[in-house]
Amino acid sequence: MFSRSFGLVRPFVSARTYATKSKTTNLKMTSRLPIQECQLADGSLFVTRQPPVSPAVQSTAPVLKKAATETKVLSESEKEEMRQLRAQDPARWTRKRLAEKFGCSEIFVGINAPTTVKRAVAAEQEPTKEYGYRRQLIKKNRERRKELW
C-alpha cells in the first residue's frame, strides 16, 4: 500500500498497537513452595518440595468431600413391592419417594421399576405423518384461515 502526502509516494508503514507475547518465562508463575536441598554421596544435588501446609494443620482441616455411603442391597421381594407400588399409582409413587422408602438411589428405582405412563401417552398420540410437528401446525393454521374466507 502506498499513501500520498504532499505529492510524494511513500510506502505505508503499519505499527503494531498491541503487546506481543513475551519470549521470556513468566516469573510470576514460579513455584513458591519451600524446597529442601540435600547433597547426595555422589556429589549430585537432590531437591524436594515441602508441602505448603504443615501436616499438623492438614490433619485438623475439615473434609472437603463426604465419604460415599454404602447402598442397601434390596431383596427380590422388595424389588417386586417397588414395581407393584409404581404400577398402582405412578403419580404418587415417584422415583424420589420410592428411593426414600427403600433407601436406594433414584436411578436404581428407574431401572428396576420403570413407569409405563409415558409410553401409553405416546401411543395415544396420532403417529406423525410425512411432515414434522411444525409443518403440520402450519398446515392446520392455513386450513383455518381458508375457512374464515
The one-letter amino acid code at 31 reads S
9 within some domain: no
Per-residue confidence (pLDDT) for residue 61, from 0 to 100: 86
Q: What total of structural domains would you count in the chain?
A: 1
Residue 93 confidence (pLDDT)? 92
- Output b/e per residue, 8-39; b: 16+ Cβ within 10 A: eeeeeeeeeeeeeeeeeeeeeeeeeeeeeeee
Residue 85 lies in a domain: yes
Residue range(s) defining the domain that contains residue 92: 76-123
In a domain, 59, yes or no: no
Residue 7 placed within a domain = no
* Per-residue cell: 71: 447402598
Ranges assigned E (strand) in the chain: 2-5, 8-11, 35-39, 45-49
pLDDT in tens, the chain (149 residues): 454 555 555 566 666 676 666 666 656 666 677 788 999 999 999 988 888 888 888 889 888 888 777 767 899 999 999 999 999 998 899 999 999 999 888 999 999 999 876 655 555 566 556 788 899 999 999 999 999 88
Instruction: Determine, yes or no, domain membership for 111.
Output: yes
Q: What is the CA radius of gyration of the chain?
A: 36
Name the pTM for this structure: 0.38
143 within domain boundaries = no
Q: Is position 16 within any domain?
A: no
The answer as to whether 115 is a domain residue is: yes
Q: Contact 83/93 with Cβ under 8 angstroms?
A: no
